[in-house]
Amino acid sequence: MIVKQYIKDFEKLGLGMFVHFGLYSDIGKGEWILHHGKMEPKEYYSRMQTFNPVPDWAQRLVATAKAGGCKYITLTTRHHDGFSLYDTCGLNDLDAVHAAAGRDLVREFVDACRAGGVVPFFYHTLLDWYMPSYKENFKEYLVYLRKSVELLCKNYGKIGGIWFDGMWHKPEEDWEEDALYGMIRSYQPEAMIINNTGLSARGALGHIELDSVTFERGKPTPINCEGAPKYVASEMCQVFGTHWGYAERDFLYKSLAEIIEDVCSCKKYGANYLLNVGPRADGTLRPLDAAMFETLGEWVEIQKEALYLPRPAGIPVEGVGEERDFLLVNGNTYYLFCHRISMRGDGNVVVGNCCDRDSADVFSLPGKVISATWLDDGSEVTLQQHENEVALKPGAYRYGTNLVVRVAKIVIEP
């Protein structure tokens, strides 16, 4: 099986920020409003006359992404409406250069990423509501698509990857993937090429040039690469609310605890987690979105040692947390992710269980444990080891703390 180093490097990035930004941000009703809102295209595209993000929109996004522990950002350089944040260099006038912004916003994004030390990735739509050729002359559309993507590959220096979306709209068509991916490889041999398989085919493998499978809004499952010609990564993308693009009246938000559990569900199978924000038309974030990233970042900061480099240990964990507790490994160090730990207190302050978890997580380690501590406060973890079998009781959080998921760091003899 071929194992590419850049795919392994992508896995080490661990957490990413997904950014859905475009004309729909100005309408504030989600990125599909042109389609589902039955909006007049003329009215929709007239937003180009006002679309003009603040000068430091990209720097601000980079700062928020970093605060959240993200090491890469995937930006919608063009979404289904066909509007491009990059200079289409004459392919059409439907780009940020011809909007009120009057500038190449992908350039600003890439510059801000590099200055901030995060890796830029480009989302690019395949489905297109704007170009008549998408419906009328598909072969011609594919030429336009490849020319568009080529601009992204050759005008912005080395990028982390390209993230396609929308092939699920015309599954019966020949998308000429060889030509598309081959062109990308000629400019960016080490770019991750990802093609979102959408809600209906999560985790599905595709063309040999694809470097990661996707789990759109669904918890990853193990990827069986056995017998496959190439090792691929996996990535789950997720939204806080129910739209990817800014929707001013989306109140159905996930909790921070759910987001933390998502991060852990990804780590369990070694998948990356790509968490979305939909900036407003000026490029700034809804305060709640920024706060979610910043607060997630506090948790990430506490657990970071376990979140980027360690990989699934492939050791089953038995016990109460059977379905969810799991082990990662990095060298001689193991990380046990413990869920459903209650918080000490009493019936006056704690709803539900406030006792120590009474049953242990049981698993085998290939050596003698020399230390076991909780990552969050360095305190000792109670465990027993008989031969290779370890029994670890996560206990309960001390009153005053609740980490949602707690990580025990276990070091064995080299």
Residue number, 95 or 216, with CB nearest to ligand GLC = 216
| E strand or H helix that includes residue 31 | none
Question: Minimum distance from CB of 364 to ligand GLC (Å)?
Answer: 38
Site for ligand GLC (CB under 6 A): which residue of 95, 104, 216, 235?
A: 216
Please state, in angstroms and as integers, the Cα–Cα distance from residue 60 to each residue in 56, 65, 238, following that order.
6, 9, 21
Question: Minimum distance from CB of 224 to ligand GLC (Å)?
Answer: 23
Q: Is 198 in the site for ligand GLC (CB under 6 A)?
A: yes
Residue number, 77 or 88, with CB nearest to ligand GLC = 77
Q: Is 196 in the site for ligand GLC (CB under 6 A)?
A: yes
Residue number, 31 or 108, with CB nearest to ligand GLC = 31
Q: Is 262 in the site for ligand GLC (CB under 6 A)?
A: no
143's CB contacts (< 8 A; 6+ apart) are none
Residue number, 47 or 78, with CB nearest to ligand GLC = 78
Question: Minimum distance from CB of 314 to ligand GLC (Å)?
Answer: 29
Structure tokens at 392: 């670890």
SS3 243: coil
CA atoms within 13 A on the CB side of 83: 26
Q: Is 246 in the site for ligand GLC (CB under 6 A)?
A: no
Residue number, 80 or 406, with CB nearest to ligand GLC = 80
Residue number, 32 or 144, with CB nearest to ligand GLC = 32
Residue number, 59 or 197, with CB nearest to ligand GLC = 197
Strand partners, 238: 275
Q: How far apart are the first and last CA of the chain?
A: 29
SS3 301: helix
Q: Is 31 in the site for ligand GLC (CB under 6 A)?
A: yes
Question: Minimum distance from CB of 379 to ligand GLC (Å)?
Answer: 40
Closest alpha carbon to 271 in 321, 225, 307, 244: 307
Q: Which residue has the tokens 């709803």?
A: 351
Q: Is 244 in the site for ligand GLC (CB under 6 A)?
A: yes
Please state, in angstroms and as integers, the Cα–Cα distance from residue 176 to each residue in 147, 161, 385, following that order.
13, 19, 56
Q: Is 165 in the site for ligand GLC (CB under 6 A)?
A: yes
Question: Minimum distance from CB of 263 to ligand GLC (Å)?
Answer: 17
Rounded to the nearest 10 degrees, what angle do helices 177-187 and 138-154 cross at? Answer: 10
Question: Minimum distance from CB of 31 to ligand GLC (Å)?
Answer: 5
Do 338 and 346 meet the contact criterion of CB atoms below 8 Å apart?
Answer: no
Residue number, 24 or 374, with CB nearest to ligand GLC = 24
352-382 burial, b if ≥16 CB within 10 A, otherwise e?
eebeebeebbbbebeeebeebebbbeeeebe
Report the C-alpha gap between 273 and 276 in whole angstroms.
Answer: 10
Question: Minimum distance from CB of 30 to ligand GLC (Å)?
Answer: 8
Residue nearest to ligand GLC (CB): 244
Question: Residues interacting with ligand GLC, by CB under 6 A?
Answer: 20, 31-32, 165, 196, 198, 216, 237, 244
